[in-house]
Structure 1
């Protein structure tokens, strides 16, 4: 018989092969216990159900690693991820599911994919809508908008039916977001209307980048730009409150000091005309270029909004979002409008302390009329609509752009 010396000078008469077998069994038992403990801990952790509609949008692929990394919701929050692309390719969705699972993220509880609206948004805590449906330029505007209205009312009904009552909904994209949310709310009648927002933060970021290039600073050095209005159609970029940090001039200033963007540029005519046109032409160019589908700025904007929504805005920082008005800035109550907000205690708060000029107020009222015009389309079937009150005829009485308002005011003064 072979004797084996153990630790600390102890001896055993147990055979070597038996001891090796016992050691292997102990090792396997230890591993199993650790796995059981991790599984038990995982089951005890609260799960958050996130739904992304329009999951084949490339911005989704950038957003997923952020959502399941713990960076936004913390390292103890499990994520139940649901990827929906209505009528999308199941082969592409299955491929996306496999890639997400291959990440082996410890906070990912489960990932599922869907390509129909049979039972979407089940138990959703967060819904991110990336379905960016654009009006068809080859159709009459009433017909084109009607298809968008029907889809978003349908989505709203399903959110109302299947999602949790406290669900938070972010609608993103480049086209008529205010109209989409207005009709989504018609279907989601039991959901808190303050929990459904439109993303104008992306346009705000693009605007800051344009200003940063002109002022020769980094984009993050430009603060408090406000995007007012109808996201994806008519917006007004307001720089009256905007500040620029680390701007180099003849006078040395500390790092936390900032200048007024309006005073630095010192060209109000350029700001009200060429700059406004440059912002919108920049967006059109991005939409036409291959770089737009990458979705980097869109994913970053969603990340920023979610982070602020759950953990509050940084001190002094405002951002622009399409939210439901309660009458602020003389914007009719119930209208979806892009306005300056801050997040506090899990809720957005419109920054009513911001003063706006009479000229800005008139521009906002132009956009109000445009939004009312868009909303009027959903009250009766197109075939029976009184064309005297249709979008086309109302549009004839509106200026073609906000810029024409300034010209009309100048002409009135001359008369």
Structure 2
């Protein structure tokens, strides 16, 4: 939801929003008439986007003038068959993209293009004035004398204040992204700091200098491996069919069902990992967390199998989930360079490239060993963040705990029929 953060931040500054604004993603099961209405709404939203982009460019090429956002809203008022708030949200999204691209050009990134592509469909947005809750249904207005879109409201959202709704097409069906206000959580009052070392085998390793927690990430890796193997079978079967055939249509539908299922499992596991990390920080009164940035790892060529694991390692997604969970408790997250943290000896300070999970110092005079490499990496990140350098003889955690993320048992999906 591109405008959600911008809108809710403005409201918080005026004291209108109490609590935390979070986004609930709801899959929709629409009737044929409702699906046709949803498709027409997104087509009309795409017409709004195309009109805004065309007018904005035309005035520049013809008159050398860029029309500002307020003038564009006034000019397009009442010209489309969608709610006026949807038109305003699309205009705001266009100008946000245009302004971001302009700043990137100023920073020396000319490869980024200004909005230029015409759309057939576009995400539709409803703000507060276009949203009505009627009994168990959510009524989304489409303007004067036009049929509204009605969807069933999940029980978990009843009684919550709804700030914004978006109609999104995802893979093979429509979803609703609902921005709701949830009660604020307790804030951390301490001043302690901690460090997190992300990994592909061990998803997150946390330490505050005295204790360490290693959260296993093998379940996430196994889900990605299952996705790769199953997609290979689907693609092989689909490649043998003709375009437009019933067999191809059924295989594509089964493939999308599987992708939805495995995507939900991966997302659930990522939430479980980050929740465990956030709870650990909350229990110890951590006020600030330093997270290692492993961006350079993907640039290394270590063979196609390892490269595939690295390319599918979702450390960015884990960082986003951890950041928003910590933020709700008043804990800040800061990225920090982690180069050399897992290979620098905590006693002598010598760097040694590691191959196993247990650290081994390459300095024969030192001989330090026995510490888990990821725990050592987390302590190195903490040392760099607090002291600005690797401190020889630094104190290591006395207690190291290992944990698996608490995930629910997955529901089996129907297997693909033999081709």
TM-score by length of 2: 0.22
Larger relative contact order, structure 1 or 2 (CA cutoff 8 Å, min sep 6): 2
Indicate the structure (1 or 2) with the bigger Cα radius of gyration. Answer: 1
Q: Greater helix share, 1 or 2?
A: 1
